[in-house]
């Protein structure tokens, strides 16, 4: 190994559920002993990939995210599903200058492959994070934390885990575009056009 510190492996476990009344979920969070983790903010996500799409084909992702003035680089490994819960390796680091990192990725031969946006607020309690996401294709609630606690947490918020979706936001956007082929929708899932 070239350095003294071994990279640590982290596993992200999540459930993503589409909702028709996100305000109802927000009210349940406010009425419970949940703490607002991060107020509503716009997230702009760009997935980088090789010219041949090797990461996407391998069910992996390299995401550069801008949330407010903060930047995060995230690697996500191949996903596995059990009981509606999606689990995958996730390595994440906050960075100071996303534009410089994007330039480095470009110089390494990666390129921006997909862009997607969402307005998100997050709530936290006992190691479970609940994200309320407003996207161009509707509203979703994502629950992240220990896999064994996600279904009970969802039920306590009035969410039906049978409605959970396994697909990522870009995959959901692709499906939405196919269902609405008569509309001129942009390639990327963004608010207000390309």
Q: What is the DSSP letter of 174?
A: H
CB 81 within 8 A of CB 104: no
Q: Which domains does the chain have, with CATH numbers?
A: 11-179 (2.40.320.10)
Model pLDDT for residues 85-114, shown as the tens digit of each residue: 999 999 999 999 999 999 999 999 999 999
Contacts of 98 (CB under 8 A, 6+ apart): 64, 66, 71
Distance between CA atoms of residues 17 and 39, nearest Å: 20
In sign, the C-alpha dihedral spanning 190, 26, 33, 165 is: negative
Using pLDDT thresholds of 50, 70 and 90, give the confidence band for residue 194: very low
**Mean pLDDT value of segment 46-69:** 95
Q: What is the pLDDT of residues 14-57, one digit of tens each?
A: 999 999 999 999 999 999 999 999 999 999 999 999 999 999 99
Q: Which helix (H) or strand (E) holds 93?
A: strand 85-95
Confidence of residue 6 (pLDDT cuts 50, 70, 90): low
pTM of this structure: 0.91
**pLDDT, position 2:** 55
């Amino acid at each position: 190994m070239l350095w003294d510190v071994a990279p640590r492996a982290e596993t992200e476990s999540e459930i993503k559920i589409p909702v028709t009344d996100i305000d109802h979920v927000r009210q349940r969070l406010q009425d419970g002993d949940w703490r607002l983790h991060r107020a509503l903010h716009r997230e702009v996500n760009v997935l980088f990939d090789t010219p041949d799409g090797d990461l996407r084909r391998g069910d992996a992702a390299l995401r550069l995210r801008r949330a407010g003035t903060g930047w995060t680089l995230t690697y996500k490994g191949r996903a596995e599903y059990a009981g509606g819960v999606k689990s995958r390796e996730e390595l994440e680091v906050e960075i100071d200058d996303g534009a410089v990192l994007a330039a480095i990725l470009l110089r390494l031969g990666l390129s921006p492959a997909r862009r997607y946006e969402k307005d998100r607020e997050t709530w936290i309690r006992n190691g479970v994070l609940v994200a309320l996401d407003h996207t161009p294709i509707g509203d979703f609630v994502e629950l992240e934390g220990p896999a064994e606690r996600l279904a009970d947490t969802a039920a306590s918020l009035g969410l039906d885990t049978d409605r959970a979706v396994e697909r990522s936001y870009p995959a959901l956007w692709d499906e939405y575009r196919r269902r609405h082929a008569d509309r001129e929708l942009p390639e990327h899932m963004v608010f207000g056009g390309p």
